[in-house]
Amino acid sequence: MKFTMFGELGALNRQGMLLLLLAGILSLSRAANPCCSNPCQNRGICTTVGYQGYECDCTRTGFYGENCTTPEFWTWLRLTLKPTPNTVHYILTHYPRVWNLVNQIPFVRNSIMRYVLTSRAHLIESPPTYNSNYNYKSWEAYANVSYYTRTLPPTPEDCPTPMGVVGKKTLPDPKYLVETFLMRKKFIPDPQRTNMMFAFFAQHFTHQFFKTDQSRGPAFTTGLAHGVDLSHVYGETLDRQHKLRLFTDGKLKFQVNNGEVYPPTVQEAPVEMTYPPHVPEHLKFAVGQEVFGLVPGLMMYATIWLREHNRVCDVLKVEHPDWDDEQLFQTTRLILIGETIKIVIEDYVQHLSGYHFKLKFDPELLFNQQFQYSNRIASEFNTLYHWHPLMPDSFKIEDKDYSYREFLFNNSVLLEHGISNMVDSFSRQIAGRVAGGRNMNPALLKVAITTIEHTRQMRYKSLNEYRKRFALKPYESFEDLTGEKEMSAELKELYGDIDAIEMYPGLMIEKPRPGAIFGETMVELGAPFSLKGLMGNPICSPEYWKPSTFGGKVGFDIVNTATLKTLVCNNVKGQCPIVSFSVPESVPSKSGSISPKSSNSGLDSVNPQGHALLKEQSTEL
């Protein structure tokens, strides 16, 4: 009996060992997700088949084969004839005489601009495809607008390494990365002469749609419109908008100081704003975006747009004395949205491009094209827009030099200097170069660290995967990426493989194009997101883009003649100051380097309450 029992137990043990071995084999099979190696090329979509197999969906990619690597004939011909992005950039930034001629021939200029818009916009999926919780198409990823969308799906969680199958199993410490490769040693001015007017415009403009939900995490946004809606002027919610409105002649609330209009205080417009306790009540200005009290440069633009709104209301009131407050307000908002898009394309993007070809805002160029008038903000767009190297070591306004400690949460700067003097000073002060690494002020390192942590939390794919997604040749080595030997050697030691370099650090340390503020990847990724978001706005659609939408010819003309200079000059007293996104060649640029009386610009120099709030702000700041 005992013998039989032990025999049965032995048999059971052998069966158990076989089951455990089989489970281990299955576990290993499951761990080796075949899509981790990103086998599908040219925008092909990888789908697992069982535990070890996969298939690539090459539909409408122009390629076929097991991994979507064989081009169809017309695809091969197009790729053979197509110049590289760097070649196109070189042509557009050289030969000024040729481009001056092109700019004067409407048909040719329109044709080129139409191609620029369509070729860029078609790189962005519409409708959206993924989000940070779904690496496959789902109704949730499409319909839940509380998510940022994703251009590339997140890396599967069961991959051998954070970047799939390449690189080391543990990514470098974010703090070490930022302090070693991003922190400024010495201020590097932008060779395109980008100035602080541009830097603050970029920050002010993008915070109407970069609104990470801090309570839910970096994959989520509190933005509702996913585009240019001027919620940073009017508020995200109807309740906030109503608290900012005067409800007379369509205008927004305001206060008058020294004969000039400024935003109302929080006491006058009781909206939630982010201010530390030490800020006096009369300096707590209330505007559409709750974080714009952070720096006077943001409040400067908030003041300019407030003045513009009320100015346009006056224009429409004369033209339409029969209109009530609501119609005046709503029509003015549409006009300001149009002004914003025109200024962004023809002044802001024009400056960034460095092109001799003159960009043109003309929605009618797309009316006969396949184009969807909708947009979703991508998480990757939010990430790549962290252009903090733009910020100088101190801020120079008239004859004063403000350290970060003196600048943060200090609206008294607006009242002391006035908008005109601030515009003039910021137009003269040069900003920092973004690409190339080692040019970020120490006061902003915490934001960069958090950005890297967030991209890891959302399981971003590598920089090279994003380059391939946007039809760029992947970098072959770290030296190819940085254009030098010192940083590239250490990066190779940290990451192990060029295909493992993360997107955000890669963008920041990428070698800049000759004489440019950015590297190739930043431009080729950023431009499609930007132009699709701008031209996908409802006001650019055939149903909206007509004079009646903007209150007739008068309002339509305001949109079609808008420039950065007219925006400022229509809203300051006296002579118009220097207004530009670049330091004019005729004006000696005020150095962005630190001055002796502002010797500390790191986090320790920020006022204590401001320091704490700066850390709490959204990582977009």
Angle, alpha carbons 89-95-97 (nearest 5°): 140
Q: Which of 238, 409, 455, 414 is nearest to 333 (CA)?
A: 238
Which residue shows structure tokens 């006009």?
A: 335
Structure tokens at 521: 């990847």
CA 336 → CA 82, 331, 406, 557, distances in Å?
Answer: 38, 9, 32, 12
CB within 8 A of 592, min separation 6: which ones? 187, 189, 392, 393, 394, 429, 430, 431, 432
Q: Which one of the listed residues 89, 207, 309, 611 is annotated catalytic?
A: 207
CA distance 612 to 369: 49
Structure tokens at 274: 């982010």
Angle, alpha carbons 229-619-433 (nearest 5°): 90
Helix (H) or strand (E) holding 70: strand 70-71
Question: What ranges in 43-82 are assigned the alpha helix state H?
Answer: 73-81
Confirm if 252 and 245 have CB atoms less than 8 A apart. Answer: yes
Determine the residue type at 498.
I
SS3 367: coil
Confirm if 148 and 220 have CB atoms less than 8 A apart. Answer: yes
Which residue shows structure tokens 């860029």?
A: 120
Determine the residue type at 599.
S
CB within 8 A of 516, min separation 6: which ones? 191, 192, 354, 435
Packed helices 325-343 and 296-319: angle between N→C axes, nearest 10 degrees: 130
CA distance 501 to 465: 10
Confirm if 503 and 460 have CB atoms less than 8 A apart. Answer: yes
278 is catalytic: no
CA distance 190 to 193: 5
CA 517 → CA 64, 354, 554, distances in Å?
Answer: 38, 10, 38
Confirm if 301 and 286 have CB atoms less than 8 A apart. Answer: no
Count of C-beta atoms within a 10 Å radius of residue 507: 23
CA distance 608 to 616: 13
Rg (CA), the chain: 27
207 is catalytic: yes
**What number of CA atoms fall less than 13 Å from residue 591's CA on the CB side?**
7
Q: Identify the DSSP state of 477.
A: S
Structure tokens at 399: 């004859």
Confirm if 268 and 255 have CB atoms less than 8 A apart. Answer: yes
Determine the residue type at 565.
K
Q: Which one of the listed residues 51, 90, 142, 385 is annotated catalytic?
A: 385
Structure tokens at 135: 């690496």
Q: Identify the DSSP state of 587.
A: S
Q: Which of 267, 294, 295 is nearest to 281 (CA)?
A: 267
* Residues tagged active-site: 207, 385
